[in-house]
Structures are given as structure tokens and as C-alpha cells.
Amino acid sequence: MKRSLKLSLPGEGRVSRKPAALYAGPIKVEPCRFMAAAKAKTKTARTRKTSKLKRTRGRLAPGATARGLDAAQVAIPMDSAEIADVVALVRSAGGATIGAYRDPLGGRPLVLASLPLSAVQPTPFQRDLSPTHAKRLALKIDEAAVFLDPLIVVRGEDGRLWTPNGRHRLAAGKVLGLKQITALISPDETLAYRILALNTEKAHNLRDRSLEVIRMARSLAKRHGTSKEAQYSAEFESAELVTLGVVYEKSSRFAGGAYSSFLKKVDRFSERTLAASLREREGYASRLLQIDAQAKKIIDTLQKRGFKSPYLRSYVVARINPVRFHKSKKGDTKPPMPLAQALTRMAAAAKNFKVESVSSKDLAWVAVGAGAQE
């Protein structure tokens, strides 16, 4: 008598009865209703979560409270005493005032005016002009047949009109041969030193930012030599930019990106006066250039040994970085060691670097890290 085979697996499903002697293929299990329902429920929940993310992604939450001035508080009469000096300055420069208002956020007075192109100069500490960018900008403005963005202008320390963030628009205006250019003039001279963070006309690279910061620092040191460097943390953005600025002044082709991470961890604003701090940073910059010279020798030796990776410099600098494994705790702003001590250790590590210990596998990991950051 032939027996029937019945396979029953808890929670897995069931199989049809079939004579054992006639069964030749694999057992086919029918999914149970419980598992199908569970999968459908999971899929529905995942879909709802994804839909919710799509709805919320890209949206900005409005401020909890309304800020700034009301419409009636914004307008300023042209004969107002608070803008009298600016109006007189515009007229003496050969320009014409168009209107005046208070900034809706901070309430500072601003004057919209038309100024002769020759009356406006870029701030002396601003980044270097890119002729290519200025010509391209002039071409696009000419194609649009309208000059939409007014220059931000302040009164410079020498009594002239300075633009802290319109150098390329100013140059484009000269390329186009403009007689007049529109400007938004602020009586607040210190705005010239706070404009770096707002400059979006042409993205700053590390070299541009560092050079602009050191030029601001030197200008402020002449005007307020007894002020502490730490007082200008908002203007300078980050302490390492001051040090890198000094380095770039000495060597414009310095590979600052390789050392930026190291400096971020150990460089801090000083409580010393600006003049004294700048003298100290001159020493730091010289030591950093000496370290980089030693790093170049190591790179040359590695290249002669057959290593051709574009990440050689990043690898070498990472190997001699004395704080590469340090991870700051949340809210901790104290450096793992003073900058002077870190430079001493870095110089020693560069001097004692063993090229024999470098492997292709090490460089591969550096490349992976660089790709992740990009």
C-alpha cells in the first residue's frame, strides 16, 4: 500500500499530497496568507515613510517668531539727518541719490544711488581680480542688456568709496564702458570687514578666502592695533585662514588644502593684540613652509620608487599630522595641543618619515577617503 507524503512546516505554508513513489521534483511550498499579509504591510509602511520624506525634503521651516521692521518703519526721507553725510558724499563724488531705507532686519540706514564708475574702488584687502571671470560676467550682463545687482559700497578709511564685494561687477562695468553704476551705500564702515561671509558673486576657494582674511587682519591691525585678534572672529571666519593667509603671501602655490584639516584642529584665535598675533603667525607660516618643503622631498622619493598616486601629498601630510586621530567631543572647542607644539611634532615626523613603510594599499585607502569627501 502506497503512503501519501504530507509536509507541514509551521508558519511556512503547506504542500499538496502526492504519492511518495511518484514524487521526483523539489517540494513546492505555497506561501501562507500570514506571510503575504506581513510583506504587504511592511511594503505599505515603507511606501508611507518614503512618501513622507519626499513631502518634507527640500522645505524650510519658518522662524518661530516674526522679526524686523514694519513697512512704515523701512522708508527714510531723503532729507533725514541719519543719511545726510552719505547723501553729501554721493553728490561730491558726482553721483545722484535714488532713495533710502532702513534694512528690514537690523534697521541700519542704506542709500541707493548712482555713482560714477571711477568713484568706486575695491577694498585694498579684497581677493585678487580674475580677468576671465570679469570678462565672462561683462558678456552675460551685455547679453541681458541690464545691470541688475547694485554694488555694496561703504566709505573707506581714506574718504573714498569702497566696494567690499563687487570687484568683479565693477570690473565688468569698466569692460562695458559704463558711465554710472548703481550702488547700495552703507554709512557703517565696519561692514567692509564683515562682508566675506556674504560674498556669493564668485565662490571663494581656500586661497582667496585666506588672502582676503589676512589683508583684512593687516588693515585692522593698522587701525586698531591694540584690539585683540579674538574680537574679529566673525570677520575672519576661522583662525586657520589667518595663518594660511600669511603662508599664501609667502608662497602663492602652497597646497593649503592638504594642511587645512590639521590647522582646523589646533589653530585658534589669539587673545593677544592683532599686531602681536600677526607677528606670531609669521613664525607659524615659516615653520609650515619648512614642513611642506620636507614633505615635497618625501613625495619626490616616493615617486622615484614608483608611486604615482595623485593623493601622495594628502597621504604624506596625513602621516605626519600629530592630531590625525583626535576627535573633538561635541561642544569642545579646546585644541588637542597648541599650534606651536603641533608644528614641532609635525616637523619631527616629517624628518623621521620612513618611505620604506609606504604601500600601495595605504594610498588606496587615502583615495577612498578622498572620494568619500568629494
Q: Average model confidence (pLDDT) for the chain?
A: 82
d(CA 268, CA 230): 9
Identify the pLDDT of residue 126: 73
The string of pLDDT tens digits covering residues 333-350 is: 899 999 999 999 999 999
The string of pLDDT tens digits covering residues 166-180 is: 888 999 999 999 999
Identify the pLDDT of residue 127: 72
Determine the 3-state secondary structure of 27 from DSSP: coil
Identify the pLDDT of residue 278: 96
Determine the 3-state secondary structure of 143 from DSSP: helix
d(CA 97, CA 76): 12
Q: Is the pLDDT of residue 8 over 60?
A: no
Say what percent of the chain tops pLDDT 90: 45
Alpha-carbon separation of residue 280 from 148, 276, 303, 327 (angstroms): 44, 6, 35, 27
d(CA 118, CA 123): 14
Identify the pLDDT of residue 184: 92
d(CA 129, CA 212): 12
What is the pTM (predicted TM-score) of this model?
0.55
Mean pLDDT calculated for residue range 350-374: 70
The string of pLDDT tens digits covering residues 44-95 is: 666 665 555 555 555 777 888 888 899 889 999 999 999 999 999 999 999 9
The string of pLDDT tens digits covering residues 264-273 is: 999 999 999 9
Identify the pLDDT of residue 235: 83
The string of pLDDT tens digits covering residues 17-44 is: 444 444 444 444 455 555 555 556 666 6
Identify the pLDDT of residue 245: 95
d(CA 278, CA 6): 88
> What is the gyration radius of the CA atoms in the chain, in angstroms?
32
Identify the pLDDT of residue 32: 54
**DSSP type of residue 230:** G
Identify the pLDDT of residue 149: 87
d(CA 7, CA 30): 12
CB 242 within 8 A of CB 213: yes
β-partners of residue 81 are none
Q: Which of 158, 287, 146, 150 is nearest to 223 (CA)?
A: 158
The string of pLDDT tens digits covering residues 302-345 is: 999 888 878 889 899 999 999 988 887 887 889 999 999 999 99
CB 171 within 8 A of CB 134: yes
The string of pLDDT tens digits covering residues 122-151 is: 887 777 788 888 898 899 888 888 888 899
Alpha-carbon separation of residue 71 from 31, 74, 77, 104, 122 (angstroms): 68, 5, 14, 8, 33
The string of pLDDT tens digits covering residues 212-231 is: 899 989 988 988 888 999 99
Mean pLDDT calculated for residue range 183-209: 73
The alpha carbon of 348 is separated from its chain's Cα centroid by a whole number of angstroms, namely 31
Identify the pLDDT of residue 38: 57
The string of pLDDT tens digits covering residues 152-167 is: 898 877 678 988 878 8
